[in-house]
Each structure stands twice: as C-alpha cells, then as structure tokens.
C-alpha cells in the first residue's frame, strides 16, 4: 500500500506549465519566487488527513470540532481563531485545521469525483506525504440499528459488484473498490472507547439515485413492489452490505487506484429493512450527524499520538 508522497497517476500533469484547480480556485505547479517551492507547499505540505463529507454545514461544524479537539496540543489554532474557508466556496467548502484538510463534496459520485481529482493534484503539487483519506457521511442502514457508524470494507455498486463503473472513451471501465483491511481495523480500534453508539465494519452500497437506485418505494417513480424491494435489501444484507449511500464505490475505487489509505465512515439514519422515509426525530439526526466525525477525530488523535 503506497504511502509516501501523494501522486497522481497521469503523465500529462507534468506537461502543464501550471495546473489551475478550477473548482477550488487554487493553482499548482507555480514556484514561489522566494522559497523556490511550489506555491501550494507552504499552505498544504503538512496535510496528513483529508476528510470530506456531503454537507457544507456539517463539514464546517467538523472543522470546528477538529480545532476544538486540538486545543492544548501543538496543532491548536491561535486563541480566538476559527476555521475559515479557503479558495472558492460556491461548489465546495475547504478548511485546513493543522494537518487536517476538510472539504464538503455535495451529493453523489459525480460531484465528489471532481473534488477528489483536484484534491489529489493539490496534494501532489504541495509535496504532501502519507495523507489518509476519509469520507464522513450519512446512509441508510441494512440490518443495523439507526445511529450505527459503518466503516466501509468495500464499495458495492448497484449491480452488487465490488466495483465502480465509469464510461471512459466509450468503454465501460470497472474499477475495484476493496479497502485495506488493516486500515479498517485501525479505525475500529481507535473507536473502542466510544460507548454511546456502535461502530461496525461492513460493505457499503453506492447508488446514483436516492430513490429507485436505493430500492425505495417512496420516489416519484417506482415500478417494483415491496416484495421485490425486500428481496433486494435482504440480498444486500447476505453479501455483507450494512449501509447504502451515494459515494462509497467511487471513493474506494479512487483511493485504491492511487494507493492511498482511505475509507468511508457513515452513520445510518434509519434501518432500511424497516422502511424508506427518514422520519427519525430531528434531534436524533443532529446527534447522529456528529458520529462519523467523532470516529474520525479518535482515529486522527491516535495517529498523531495525542491520546
Ligand atoms: C448520503 O446522504 C446524501 C443523500 O441524502 C448522499 O450524499 C449520501 O451519500
Ligand atoms: N443517505 C442515503 O443515500 N440514503 C439513505 O437512506 C440515507 C441517507
């Protein structure tokens, strides 16, 4: 498993005079005249963790929680400082808190994919090393109680394959989605002191659709019945899937293709074996939303030797 310098796998990047990361409004490949280093290196060269999640509000809150968790350590922000977004903010929100780079990625694999490509290029230009990637999100559980955090062992697509499938140059390309089991175990180990909710390992299915793609009966379109839905969800359970969301297959294939250590930790908002509508009370949902971040912070503290 690579760790070491974060590297793109694209020979064309080196041919660019400069690399404009359009959705972040940051430029790589331009040397600082004083230091002679890439301009991104002074800002991002020390990044060791990249944490992303769909919602802007939740990731801004997570940035503040990471900052709070670093109080009294060498990574503490100066007194009275709060994390502020970096670069362009209309598509994604980006924060940096010590060695943790934090971004929102919007809903779905296409939105997240744009961000992941630009973040890996950013980290390569910045000469960052040993960066681990995490997606912190929400999901529908399969046979686990609402509020459980599922640490992903492999992404599964809607055809129940451990693959992310993307048409490239007119051909369907299937990319493997298995996650490094040693990383999953380290995340579970770091969460062992968390007692107020369950953290489990399991496969995560990703759909490009919240409704039909996730076997819901409550979308605007549906041409299957309860029986067909339950048969599919039970099949998911039987192959080891413990939650469904909309990004894990792309995320896991991406980190795997680049040899980056990374996984997805999603809280389950409901148990899909019991229904489709997210009617969990607002205050429970607000508490659930914080859980993947708690697991990530436990892991980050363990890796930084802060525990
Ligand atoms: C989980 O929640 C979002 C849809 O509500 C989506 O981003 C996901 O994966
Ligand atoms: N996010 C999803 O994609 N599915 C759910 O059921 C809940 C959250």
17-61: pLDDT as tens digits: 999 999 999 999 999 888 899 999 999 999 999 999 999 999 999
The answer to whether residues 25 and 107 touch, using CB atoms and an 8 Å cutoff, is no
Ligand 2 pocket test target in 107, 229, 245 with most atoms within 8 Å of CB: 245
What global pTM score does this model have? 0.97
Compute the distance between CA of residue 238 and CA of residue 232 in angstroms, rounded to an integer: 10
In angstroms, what is the span from residue 138 Cα to ligand 2's centroid?
6
Closest CA to 129 of 38, 3, 257: 3
CB-based burial of residue 300 (10 Å sphere; 0-12 exposed, 13-18 middle, 19+ buried)? buried
The strand pairing partners of 206, in sequence order, are 245
Q: Is the CB of 162 under 6 A from ligand 1?
A: no
- Ligand 1 close to Cβ of residue 246 (< 6 A): yes
Choosing from 54, 136, 140 the residue with most ligand 2 atoms within 8 A of its CB, the one to mutate for a pocket test is 140
Q: Interior CA angle at 262 toward 233 and 88, to 5°?
A: 100
Q: Is 36 left (phi over 0), alpha (psi -120 to 50) or beta?
A: left
CA separation for the pair 65, 77 (Å, rounded): 12
CA 275 – ligand 2 centroid, Å? 12
Cα–Cα–Cα angle for 18, 22, 24, nearest 5°? Answer: 110
Q: Which atom of ligand 2 lies nearest, measured to the CA of 246?
A: 3
Structure confidence at residue 269 (pLDDT): 98
pLDDT of residue 307: 77
118 CB-near residues (< 8 Å, 6+ apart): 21, 22, 23, 24
Which residues of the chain are modeled with pLDDT < 50? 1
């Amino acid at each position: 498993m690579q760790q070491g310098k974060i590297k793109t796998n694209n020979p064309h990047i080196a041919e660019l005079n400069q690399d404009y990361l359009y959705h972040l409004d940051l430029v790589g490949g331009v040397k600082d005249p004083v230091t002679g280093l890439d301009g991104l290196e002074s800002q991002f060269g020390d990044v060791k963790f990249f944490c992303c999640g769909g919602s802007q509000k939740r990731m801004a809150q997570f940035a503040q929680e990471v900052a709070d968790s670093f109080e009294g350590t060498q990574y503490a922000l100066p007194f009275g400082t709060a994390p502020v977004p970096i670069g362009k903010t209309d598509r994604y929100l980006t924060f940096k808190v010590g060695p943790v780079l934090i971004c929102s990625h919007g809903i779905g694999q296409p939105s997240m994919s744009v961000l992941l490509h630009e973040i890996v290029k950013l980290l390569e230009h910045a000469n960052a090393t040993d960066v681990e990637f995490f997606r912190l999100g929400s999901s529908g559980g399969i046979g686990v109680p609402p509020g459980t955090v599922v640490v992903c062992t492999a992404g599964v697509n809607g055809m129940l394959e451990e693959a992310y499938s993307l048409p490239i140059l007119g051909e369907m390309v299937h990319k493997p989605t298995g996650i490094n089991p040693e990383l999953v175990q380290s995340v579970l180990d770091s969460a062992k002191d968390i007692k107020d909710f369950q953290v489990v390992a399991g496969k995560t299915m990703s759909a490009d659709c919240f409704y039909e793609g996730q076997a819901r009966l409550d979308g605007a379109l549906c041409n299957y019945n309860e029986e067909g839905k339950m048969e599919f969800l039970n099949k998911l359970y039987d192959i080891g899937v413990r939650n469904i969301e909309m990004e894990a297959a792309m995320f896991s294939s991406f980190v795997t293709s680049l040899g980056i250590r990374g996984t997805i930790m999603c809280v389950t908002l409901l148990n899909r074996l019991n229904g489709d509508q997210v009617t969990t009370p607002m205050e429970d949902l607000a508490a659930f939303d914080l859980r993947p971040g708690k697991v990530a912070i436990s892991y980050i503290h363990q890796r930084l030797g802060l525990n």
